Structure 1
Amino acid sequence: MLDTHGRAAVQPFISKTSHYLLRIGLKATHITIIAFLIGIMASVFIYLEHPIIGVVVLWISGFLDAVDGSMARISKTSSSWGTVLDVSFDRVVEGGILIALALHHQDPKILFLFLLLALSIVFTMTVFLTVGAVSQKESYKSFYYQPGLAERTEGFILFSLMVLFQSNLTFWTIIFLIVELVTGLQRLLEARRILK
């Protein structure tokens, strides 16, 4: 939701950063890989019990994740391979956050909630990617972008809340799970409407 409706507010900063990185000779794929490595470092900091640093690093990774796509569009180098890398790396970063938290919270109830959350993310992304693959619609991205209640920014906010307020981890995990399920169902209903 925030990515769809709030992108215009941050786009000038994303564009300036994109132009600067292209000017110094970096390519979109380089930034995709850098964003991925920084995202993995977020998990390491969370595991090492530096939650604030972990969250800051996660958001830097997320910002660069937006910049790489902007760079590809500006330089007219968007590619299917770049999209595959981008989407795949995003899921690994998210999985890393869950693993880092799980290593510190081994209560079976919390681990079960983490499993449900992971499955809800898989469900939501499966609908998103499948609709993108089969839909004839176009968007400014390399495939049809299905908006929803939870997009990348909402995911980062909810992961941040889980990391920063681990004393309320059960609550934030349940909230995240509900948001993901609502998003998945929202996208499924839209898919039924546009693909019938």
Structure 2
Amino acid sequence: MIDTKLRGKFQPTFDIMAVKLVKIQLRPNVITWIAFGVGILASVSVAIEWMIPSILLLWLSGLLDVLDGTVARLTRSSSRGGAYMDLILDRMVEAAYILGLAYRFPQGYYAYLLFYVAVIFNFTTFIVAGALFQNKGAKSMHYDVGIAERTETFLVFTLLALFPTNIYLILMIFNAVIFITGMVRFKRVLAYSKSLD
């Protein structure tokens, strides 16, 4: 929800950054892979309990994830393949970060498992909505708005890294938010599907 509500306010800053990347001829897919690599480094950092570096790397990965799409739009090089790769690698960064936390703080075991179930459910509804609903935005596919989006996820990951003794409670609350996001979208997709029949 934060992404949807505030992205427009920050986009001019992202555009300035993206122009600099265009000048050094960094292609969108290369930026996507760099974002992925930085996200994996963040996950390794949290696994060895380097919390502040892990948080900084996580947010840098998120920034690069924003910039790859911005560069693609500025250079008119957006592609379905690039959008597909971006979606998958984003989820892999999130999965890796949870694995890093699970390695270092195994006491949140059931919360981690439930997180994966929640993400599978939520992401499935997101992909189905993207395939069904007409795309009216600037992205390569319809992006359905949800309560829990990427910024919320990174904020929660930051809290998990800063307050590891509260991992179970924080993650279980976030799991509930992810499930609610998926259920709202699931209901919307079903209603839309019925209107097509």
TM-score by length of 1: 0.95
Asked if the contact 2:47/2:103 (under 8 Å) is kept, the reply is yes
1:135 aligns with 2:133: yes
Deviations 1:106-137 (A, max 9, x none): 23xx2111111111011101100111012234
How many residues align? The count is 194
The one-letter code sitting in structure 2 at the alignment partner of 1:157 is L
Q: Which runs of 5+ in 2 are unaligned?
A: none
- 1:180-191 superposed matches below 5 A: 180-191=178-189
**Secondary structure in 1 matching 2:139:** coil
Distance 2:173 2:106 in 1: 19
Deviation at 1:188, TM superposition (A): 1.3
Distance 1:156 1:4 in 2: 15
1:38 aligns with 2:38: yes
1:16 aligns with 2:12: no
- 1:1-196 superposed matches below 5 A: 1-107=1-107, 110-195=108-193, 196=195
**Secondary structure in 2 matching 1:163:** helix
The one-letter code sitting in structure 1 at the alignment partner of 2:56 is V
Q: Which runs of 5+ in 1 are unaligned?
A: none
Deviation at 1:171, TM superposition (A): 1.0
Deviation at 1:189, TM superposition (A): 2.0
Distance 1:128 1:4 in 2: 15
CA RMSD in angstroms, aligned pairs only: 1.1
Deviations 1:158-189 (A, max 9, x none): 11111111011111111110110111112112
Asked if the contact 2:48/2:104 (under 8 Å) is kept, the reply is no
Distance 2:29 2:125 in 1: 25
Structure 1's consecutive aligned runs of 4 or more residues displaced over 4 angstroms after TM superposition are: none
Identity, % of aligned positions: 36
Deviations 1:65-123 (A, max 9, x none): 0010011111111111101110111111011111111112223xx21111111110111
Distance 1:100 1:152 in 2: 18
Deviation at 1:140, TM superposition (A): 1.4
**Larger displacement relative to structure 2 (131-140 or 120-129):** 131-140
